[in-house]
Structure 1
Amino acid sequence: MLDFFRNHKRLMMFMLILVIVPGLGFVGIQGFRGFFDESANVASVNGHKITRAEFDDATRQQLDRARQMLGAQFDMKSFDTPERRRQMLDGLIEQRVLADETQRLHLTASDDAVRRVLLNDPVISSLKNPDGSIDVDRYKQLLAMQGMTPDQYDERVRYTLATQQLPASIQGSAFTSKTLAQHLTELADQQREVQGIAFHPRDYLAKVQPTDAQVQAYYDAHRSEFATPATATIQYLVMSPSTMAASVQPSDADLKKYYDDNIAHYRVEGQVRASHILIAAPKDASAADKAKAKQKAEDLLAQIKAHPDQFAQIAQQNSQDPGSASKGGDLGYFGRGMIAGGQSFDDAVFALKKDEVSGIVQTDFGYHIVKVTDVKPTVTKPFDDVKNQIATDVKAQQAAKALSDDAEGFTSIVYEKAKSLQPAADKYKLQIQTATVTPQADPKLPATSPLNNAKFLAAVFANDSVNSRNNTQAIDVGGNTLIAAHVTDYKAAAVPALDAIKDAVRQKVVAVQANDAAHKDGLAKLADFDKSKATTGFSSPLKVSRSDAQGVPPLALSAIYKADAQKLPAYVGVDLGADGYAIYRVNSVVAGTPVNGQRLAAAQQQIAQVDAQSEAEAYVQAVRARSKVKFYGSLDGSPNANPASDNN
């Protein structure tokens, strides 16, 4: 089909003009494109699109976190499943639903709240200079790597805080009674004395001797288990900010202009080092208490004026600020807005010169006496000192612009010069790379690798790529990255002949038959125990609880606690799948010890948190139910049936 388009371009262009141009008068160019092309989106909420790139980025981040947490135990197949992808989409939809509800209710977050979050962020805290100030250049560089400016990041934090207000208010109102908490905790502590007997498949391996006919039958019924996956050897090009940066070299004039245009970014605002004495008098204190606190502060100020060299000792003995009193009131270096005292505190402190002492300064915390011990004036870093950093920033900006300017041309040349990637590589100075891929993602590669992108792999193994050996489209894999490939060799999936893998098939049959034998014996023994109530053959008694399974498998523990406590002893059989079969004799129930004190309070809090989470989820689901949610195609990038019905 694509060959016909390529070989009859003029005819197809004429036909497209006849079809498209009249329609533009009704819907406009952008509307017409959006009418037909929903492949770039996975869903919409109240008209707000959730793009495939957004979905893919969120999925990659989740996989990357799982890979970091599990290390060598990470299994891509168990994480990148249709169920998990649907859960990810549900999460994005709920975020959008919550954001719309937040906007409808006109909720927002204050500048002070945003500032507190930023200052408490451990990543941002790691950027502090020895004097306590934030290294602005490194902060901007860190955000630039994420494609953001400081203002954009501030708004993202504000947005996050605003959307958290609704679920936080629900969770903050959760309550659990002591009676319920005590009852549930005692149930969790309840023990059951059990004895077990296991039927392991490994104990039956020597007894199993499958016939050739059984091996043949298993092979015929499970051919797909022994298939080798299809493989494609590819050449590929990646166009991204990092690959474009190789061909970008900003001039000194570019760097100087950037410096002049952004001079404020290279200005280090003045800081002071100060010590203070706090006499606490919170906002809700009585007038009498405030007057008493103020009088004490005035008395201390008189002492300091009489003995200015004893400020540290007086602070150590009298200040009610636990964080600084032991250090003689020292607050270290700080700039405006970095101390929680507010505007009045800043105005008083930054009006002082070195070694000067303030009068009484009132804030929401009480009454302060402040002494400035050092002053660092505002300075602007010289161009030569920041030239290298500017070069990095400008290069990144120019590379991003080059990517934006060239993306459409790259997409076109990859399609038009379909038999080779060399023209695109030459024009955009990109390096042709090679790899061998399968239709499934490679767990050995980073989760963010474009070679693991599902849409890209689908394009590589499409008929047009494999059979006609045409370039794939330029695939947007998120993160401002395009990738295109050309298949140079292809090997279809194949099932080896039985003679070639007979030993492997026989091992499978032996394992299946051994497991069947274990299950058969286990079921027969369970029937005998139910009749005889025998105790022989079991392990030593073991006390298990829901919180301490003593090594008993979760499936078995669940079965043990389903046994009727009024009809003991009881026997329960548990199918452990590939691990065989187990029988447990439940002898008795041991009640949990009464719960009180701190443990009961902790249980109340934990149960309340669970209940609050459930209430918050129910609220979000209720808001979602009255929202207009629409799905586009499937979650693997193909335009198949919707993953769920539209909710209108």
Structure 2
Amino acid sequence: MLQRIGDALKGQKWLAYLVLGALALVFAAWGAYGIVNLNFGGSDYAAEANGAKISLEEAHNRWLRQQTQWQQRLGGMEIPPDLRKRFQDQMLEGMIGEALIDERTQSLGYRVSTEALREAVQQEPAFQIGGQFSPEAAKGALAQAGISLADYERDLRTQARRAQLEGGIRASEFLTPAERARLAELEGQEREVRYLVLPAERFKSAAGVDDAAGQAYYKAHQAEYMTPESAHLEYAQLSLAALEAQVTASDADLRAAYEKAKGRLEVPEKRHARHVLITGKDDAAALAQAQKVLAEAKAGKDFGELAKQYSQDPGSAHNGGDLGWAERSAFVAPFADALFGMKVGEIKGPVKTQFGYHIIRLDEIQAGKSKSFEEARSDLEAQLKRDRATDRFGEIQERLQTKASEPGADLKALAQEFDLQAGEMPTFVKGAGAPPLGLAPPLQELIFADPPLAVGRLGGPVLLGDDRLAIVKVLEHRKARPKPLAEVRESIVAALTQSRATALALAAAKAARQKLEGGAS
């Protein structure tokens, strides 16, 4: 859910190069927990891209989040210095790419309304309990990902603008020769960047924290050091996957299913073709060019070379217009009608579509056929087991609905009767949940309702998605309360020390910048 929004353009490196101009990255100084820029201007920022500045605060906060995520992946270990340097470089490079794209979307006037943003946030499934948006669920999910609600909303707005830009570019379906040349030029360029590293670690010894400062920080930030509301539960759950593992399907069952499904087991005809796409604002000129290419192709000129020379389809021109194997549904109707009416070796055109004029050559045909029983067996078995398990799942749900509401219903007895996975969960947290049930919004709504599910009472069954259900019994309710200072003292000292060390590193970086501006090297 909360995979960082920047990943939306992963694998789309060409997009940033296509739409944006050159990048200017000025001197930057990195701390182990902070980033300081040494630039030529009066303002402090980590990097500049086409006039769009990445602030020190943005870079600092991004690094803190990513550092936490990487440490979790490393099992709580400190990140080795060489890896830290690599992660920091990758992070800043990613932020630069994001800034370039954001600058372009804003210059083109792409906007996302507050209403649309609010609707997108409220429709996020992980932020809902019982199908309704829950601020508690949103805070819990974002806390697990290390993101504030404000950051999430800002990133969501940015993602929407980028999607508008990407969609506009993709809708054009092709690059002009000039754009392709520019893309090739940009991809081959290298930039030399100089930066100064001032690790905040160097300043920690000068950033001492006494008891008074720690107590003051604790009082001022007590809301950050709360033990959330929670419950101690007994639970029993049933999964569709567990039922599927118990289901068997005989050979006779599978053959009967095969006979019923024959109509759905047709493998459609596929064709292997090449094409040349001619497009342009002047329709008459494009048609004339397409007719010229058609004449050359029919005269025996190598079709692949014609595609490389004339085609304006960036996806196939470099490969001689090769479209690979595809079925009819892969193409727009005019193209599909022409292609699937041709004979092997035939050249046809110009065929007009919304993309331009096409000259098509059919190379091979792979006839459609029905899957044999053996070819379809594994798919049929999986589907049959799924169907039977789904039926059994529904039956158990209905019976549990009745039995769990009976006076004196016992969770452990029901778990044994219906072969449910039973267990105890000492701390099921409001807004966060706990393994193995996870966040479980429907359970959140049941357990922490107003009034909450009574201690000792059986609740459920509750559906956790389409393939899991659970029944629960509350053993104890716990209200939210502040954590004792002694319990959080270490983290407070670490936070204050880091904050002060970062401030000292920033001051040192500013002094270094002044020296550089004065001519020092």
TM-score (norm 1): 0.40
More relative contact order, 1 or 2 (CA 8 Å, 6+ apart) = 1
Task: Return the index of the structure with the highest Cα Rg.
Answer: 1
TM-score (norm 2): 0.48
